[in-house]
Structure 1
Amino acid sequence: MAWIADGDHLLAHPADDVRGLAVVDPSGYRVGEVIELAIDTDERRARLLTVASGGFLGLAASEQWIPVEVVTRVDDRVHVDRHHGTVRAIQHGGSHPVARSDVAAVYEHFGVQPFWTVDRAPSYFHTRQQATSAPVRAEH
């Protein structure tokens, strides 16, 4: 895996670059903002989102890794099927190379099979849908 910001790798589908979009939980609460993508260099697909939350002007913000398997749709926001408390319960992040051993606990926390396992359900970053007009609720 590699970080897209490193510039050495491109996504297979440029529209899947969701950096800068807000992430919302099933209730519409804002979890944070996507600041980075970890990509599978073989398939050139996003596998983890780095989401920043909290803080003020970038100071004291926390970062979480979220597997794309919990993304339900992408429009003008990234929608995940876990509530903000679950997402924020596991603090990770950082723009450095990631080995499978580094992220296995993240997949376990979210209860999804890692992308490298043979028996996992096939997943791909969801196609963007037309933007909705539903309001985003403030972070907790």
Structure 2
Amino acid sequence: MTTTLELLPLADDRTSLAEEQDDVRGMTVLDVREHRVGEVEEILVDSVDHRARLLVVASGGILGIGEHKRLVPVDAVSRVRAHVRLERSDLHVASGFDYDPELPGPVDYGPVYSYFGYTPFWEDGYQSPYFLDRRW
């Protein structure tokens, strides 16, 4: 089943987060081995629950040139403190899905969740705790 949703970037004036503390933009992202993956550049938010659903992690490049932007489900976040810690390796993220804000919506995000091994939030059986619960 292909599911297409229009998740909106937090920077878009049409959306907001249910909890302000979910705004982790600008935070460094570390992988499971504490290797630097990049930085949270943007957060894609669902327009119904106003929850962060995907992080846009930027890495590489200089002044935005040659920079890679990858999608990471918030389900992959193991904790948030001074940085965002993921349950996956930097190589796993680097081999994942690119973020292209110019793609016309709606976009099928199912493959992103599948690649990371998580049930998408819109499917029956979704039970993963929301990443806000991992702030400690």
- Whether TM-score is above 0.5 comes out as yes
Gaps in structure 2 of 5+ consecutive residues: 1-6
TM-score by length of 2: 0.88
SS of the counterpart of 1:107?
Answer: helix
- Superposed CA deviations along residues 82-126 of structure 1, whole A, max 9, x for unmatched, are 00010110131133565352x111111101000100112143123
Q: TM-score, normalised by structure 1?
A: 0.85
Asked if 1:99 corresponds to 2:95, the answer is no
Looking at structure 2, the residues matched to 100 and 62 of structure 1 have their Cα atoms a distance apart, in angstroms, of 19
Structure 1: gaps spanning 5 or more residues:
130-140
Separation of aligned partners in 2, 1:14 and 1:41: 15
2:72 aligned to which of 60, 66, 69: 66
Provide closer, same or farther for how the CA distance between residues 4 and 92 of structure 1 changes in structure 2, counting only shifts above 3 A.
same
In structure 2, what is the Cα distance between the partners aligned to 1:120 and 1:76?
A: 28
**The one of 109, 131, 136 aligned to 1:125:** 131
Letter in 2 for 1:23: V
Counterpart among 7, 16, 20 of residue 22 in structure 2: 16
Number of equivalent positions: 128
Aligned counterparts, 1:75-94, within 5 A: 75-94=81-100
Pick one of 94, 106, 114 that aligns with 1:108: 114
Cα distance in 1, alignment partners of residues 12 and 96 from structure 2: 24
Whole-angstrom distance in 2 between the partners of 1:46 and 1:3 = 9
- SS of the residue corresponding to residue 131 of structure 2 reads coil
- What is the distance in 1 between the residues matched to 2:105 and 2:26? 21
Give 1:43's aligned residue.
Answer: 49
Partner SS for 1:106 = helix
More divergent stretch after superposition (117-126 vs 63-72): 117-126
Say if 1:72 and 1:126, in contact at 8 Å, map to a contact too. Answer: no
